[in-house]
Amino acid sequence: MTANLDTLMTDLGRRARAAARALALVPSEQKDKALRAAAQAIRIDAGLILAANARDMEAGEAKGLTKAMLDRLMLDPARVEAMAKGLEDIARLPDPVGRSLAEWTRPNGMHISRVAVPLGVIGIIYESRPNVTADAAALCLKSGNATILRGGSESFHSSQAILTALSGGFAACGLPADAVQMVPTTDREAVGAMLRLSEYIDVIVPRGGKSLVERVVAESRIPLFQHLEGICHTYVDGSADLEMARTIVLNAKMRRTGVCGATETLLVDRACAGTHLAPLVAMLIDAGCEVRGDQPAQDADCRVSPAAEADWSTEYLDAVISVKVVDGVGAAVEHINTYGSHHTEAIIAGDPKAAETFLQGCDSAIVLWNASTQFADGGEFGMGAEIGISTGKMHARGPVGVEQLCTFKYVVKGSGQTRPG
């Protein structure tokens, strides 16, 4: 079985590599036309997609999936239409392939340019959300990459139906048949086999919960775009305006508590703790947030429970926050670099010097001054759409959009130059 699986996966990989070579040369207009055709195919196939999803939902309910998981799995006509619209939005983005990232002429007359080219083959490993099938495949196609999708077993039929529609649209516009492939088995071992395909897959994007990402990080021989967790911080500096701090902290924690850009720890400068700490803590508790704090936070509001050491490195993804008083911006940066996950951190401050210290000192993908950590999102950044957020430092950091799905090559144009010496 494992031998068969490896053969199967190697074959997928080989075909993806061949498709990638062809896709790298496809002109922008053809890619965009294919994306629009795929959107139309999804609309036409909506009935089939919803029927496949009903099968997955039934199996999911029988299997006892949680309500949250069932909600992620569920498709309805509005969600199918959103998928189709998403493809059209991606078609409208500028083509990231072929951009000149830099160019210069050498004293010997050689012209050198660094030109954006596709990475090659992207592997996507995801869980129950079937819409990832369309989003991820479209972002990869836009950036000229071939895709190997490995969806969750719960959404297998939904994802297959979506892929059938997509592939029909792509093929109608002359794209290679293997531009987007899906691992045709729900065997868990297929993930392991996929993570060993370093010859054929250039980068893997794991999309899902912490346990999925942990497994992929532990096993992969292929570079990853991933974040394990978002332990994001908002630091209220002594120079912060209290009203602005209120507005931002409430949004950063409570707008959506389950997203990776939600603030998990509030740090308050001792210099303004006397005036800012109690109102901020009371506001959070009144909004339904559980607050776990250090001694000053507990002293500020009797509803605050004591924070344990583990709280400083916990991603709650829920209406819970840890609160700590720190000695100024330096101590805030130190706390964040020690306990954080290098994702997204915000400072609320009137003082530009304090802001500069924070923005420079935090070793995180995204640092914000006087704005909410919930902006950590490719769409909000104006990148169109994202395939995920990376807390790694190699190649992509922060939201991973179509530009980050490209690498580059050096193109040198000469007139007979040879190297002396």
- Smallest CA-to-CA distance from 379 within 89, 105, 125 is with 89
Kindly list the distances between the CA atom of residue 31 and the CA atoms of 123, 145, 176, 278, 315, in Å, as whole numbers in the listed order: 19, 11, 11, 55, 39
Output the smallest distance, CB 115 to a copy of itself, in A: 9
Give the C-alpha separation, 367 to 353, whole Å: 15
Kindly list the distances between the CA atom of residue 171 and the CA atoms of 148, 163, 166, 280, in Å, as whole numbers in the listed order: 16, 12, 9, 56
Query: Residues 6 or more apart from 252 whose CB is under 8 A from it?
Result: 232, 234, 262, 263, 346, 372, 373, 374
Output the smallest distance, CB 296 to a copy of itself, in A: 25
Q: Is 413 in the site for a copy of itself (CB under 8 A)?
A: yes
Q: Which helix (H) or strand (E) holds 74?
A: none
Q: Name the one residue in this structure whose structure tokens are 């769409």.
A: 379
Question: Among 247, 257, 313, 314, which residue sits at the site for a copy of itself (rule: CB under 8 A)?
Answer: 247
Question: Among 5, 6, 8, 24, which residue sits at the site for a copy of itself (rule: CB under 8 A)?
Answer: 24
Q: Is 85 in the site for a copy of itself (CB under 8 A)?
A: no
Question: Among 300, 364, 391, 402, which residue sits at the site for a copy of itself (rule: CB under 8 A)?
Answer: 364
Which one of the spans 88-96, 102-110, 150-158, 275-283 is the region binding a copy of itself (CB under 8 A)?
Answer: 102-110
Measured in residues, the chain has a length of 421
Question: Among 34, 41, 137, 248, which residue sits at the site for a copy of itself (rule: CB under 8 A)?
Answer: 248
Cβ atoms 205, 136 nearer than 8 A: yes
Chain centroid, CA 189 distance in Å: 24
Question: Among 51, 68, 110, 308, which residue sits at the site for a copy of itself (rule: CB under 8 A)?
Answer: 110
Query: Residues 6 or more apart from 5 whose CB is under 8 A from it?
Result: 185, 187, 189, 190, 193
Which one of the spans 79-87, 281-289, 317-325, 403-411 is the region binding a copy of itself (CB under 8 A)?
Answer: 403-411
Cβ atoms 10, 200 nearer than 8 A: yes
Structure tokens at 369: 């001054």
Output the smallest distance, CB 409 to a copy of itself, in A: 6
Question: Among 124, 367, 385, 405, which residue sits at the site for a copy of itself (rule: CB under 8 A)?
Answer: 367
Q: Which helix (H) or strand (E) holds 382?
A: none
Query: Residues 6 or more apart from 320 whose CB is under 8 A from it?
Result: 257, 289, 290, 291, 292
Closer CB to a copy of itself, 42 or 146, in the complex: 146
Structure tokens at 227: 């974040």
Output the smallest distance, CB 34 to a copy of itself, in A: 19
Output the smallest distance, CB 203 to a copy of itself, in A: 7
Which one of the spans 27-35, 274-282, 321-329, 372-380 is the region binding a copy of itself (CB under 8 A)?
Answer: 372-380
Phi, psi of 99 (to 5 degrees): -60, 140
Question: Among 195, 203, 325, 387, which residue sits at the site for a copy of itself (rule: CB under 8 A)?
Answer: 203
Site for a copy of itself in 308-347 (CB under 8 A): 337
- Smallest CA-to-CA distance from 406 within 139, 194, 134 is with 139
- Which string of x and - marks every residue 114-153 that binds a copy of itself (by CB under 8 A)? -----xx---------------------------------
Output the smallest distance, CB 46 to a copy of itself, in A: 25
Give the burial class of 282: count Cβ atoms within 10 A of its Cβ; 0-12 exposed, 13-18 middle, 19 or more buried.
middle
Cβ atoms 294, 325 nearer than 8 A: yes
- Which string of x and - marks every residue 26-65 that binds a copy of itself (by CB under 8 A)? ----------------------------------------
Question: Among 368, 387, 400, 402, which residue sits at the site for a copy of itself (rule: CB under 8 A)?
Answer: 368
Closer CB to a copy of itself, 149 or 249, in the complex: 249
- Which string of x and - marks every residue 262-301 that binds a copy of itself (by CB under 8 A)? ----------------------------------------
What are the residues binding a copy of itself (CB under 8 A)?
Answer: 21, 24-25, 104, 106, 110, 112, 119-120, 202-203, 223, 244, 247-248, 250-252, 255, 337, 355, 359-361, 363-372, 374-375, 377, 380-382, 393-395, 397-398, 407-419, 421
